[in-house]
Amino acid sequence: MSYQWQTSAFAELDTAQLYAALRLRQEIFVVEQNCAYLDLDNLDLKAVHMLCWHEGDLLAYQRCLAPGDHFSESALGRIAVKVTARGRELGRELVKRGISHNLRRWPGQNIRINAQAYLEIFYSSLGFIAEGEIFDEDGIPHIHMVYPRSA
């Protein structure tokens, strides 16, 4: 299957691309996970957005944030894979691309994520290290994880 990967600043996204990204985030984080929360947190304006398309359908998405925008380190967030696209290793490829992007763009910086706790093993397999205890974020167990700049 042929995928088209896109990396764009917020201002470079056209309205259809932005709509597709926001819709996917709502499908996953609000509807699938039954979690009412404010997804639009003003960080999108500063973020670099990574999207994976197949024949005009958005299959995967994440945003990359500079050090200081959300955490003191650079960050990945809103990592989402469409339900019908799971099992294709897209999540793994997406996060690897995010790690590579952040390390290139902000060298010498760790990468921080707030991972949903059930995904700790997945993120650990990509080099992230859990920090601290599991905490509640919007009714969902999360854990802080860091990808060390030297990994």
Q: For the residues 29-46, what does the mean pLDDT come to?
A: 93
**In this predicted model, what pLDDT tens digit does every residue of 96-118 receive, in sequence order?**
999 999 999 999 999 999 999 99
Reply yes or no on whether the pLDDT at 151 is more than 80.
no
* Alpha-carbon span 145 to 142, nearest angstrom: 9
SS3 61: strand
**In this predicted model, what pLDDT tens digit does every residue of 71-96 receive, in sequence order?**
999 999 999 999 999 999 999 999 99
Which of 69, 53, 55 lies closest to 17 in space, CA to CA? 53
* Residue extents of the structural domains in the chain: 4-147
Which of 6, 9, 11 lies closest to 57 in space, CA to CA? 6
pLDDT at 1: 75
* Alpha-carbon span 106 to 127, nearest angstrom: 17
* Alpha-carbon span 146 to 99, nearest angstrom: 11
Mean pLDDT estimate for the chain: 96
- Using CA of residue 97, residue 86, residue 9, residue 16, what is the dihedral sign? positive
The domain at 4-147 falls in which architecture?
A: 3-Layer(aba) Sandwich (3.40)
pLDDT at 122: 98
pLDDT at 9: 98
Reply yes or no on whether the pLDDT at 134 is more than 90.
yes
